[in-house]
Amino acid sequence: MLPDLLLIYKINEQKKCITFSYIGSHSDIF
């Protein structure tokens, strides 16, 4: 159970990084 939660957490962190880098590289839109 715990490893699954850790995996989900890691995936969520990666999604956050991708989202922030996307917003950062397209900051002129916002």
1-30 confidence digits (pLDDT tens): 678 888 999 999 998 878 888 777 776 654
Query: What pLDDT score was predicted for residue 3?
Result: 83
Q: How far is CA 25 from CA 1, 2, 3, 6, 18, in A?
A: 36, 35, 33, 29, 10
In angstroms, the CA 4 to CA 28 distance is 37
- pTM for the complete prediction? 0.51
Query: What pLDDT score was predicted for residue 23?
Result: 75
Q: How far is CA 29 from CA 17, 18, 21, 26, in A?
A: 18, 17, 13, 6
Look at residue 3 and give its three-state secondary structure: helix
- How many domains would you assign to the chain? 1
Please choose, from the candidates 2, 24, 5, the residue with its C-alpha nearest in 3D space to the C-alpha of residue 13: 5
Q: Which domain holds residue 5?
A: 1-29
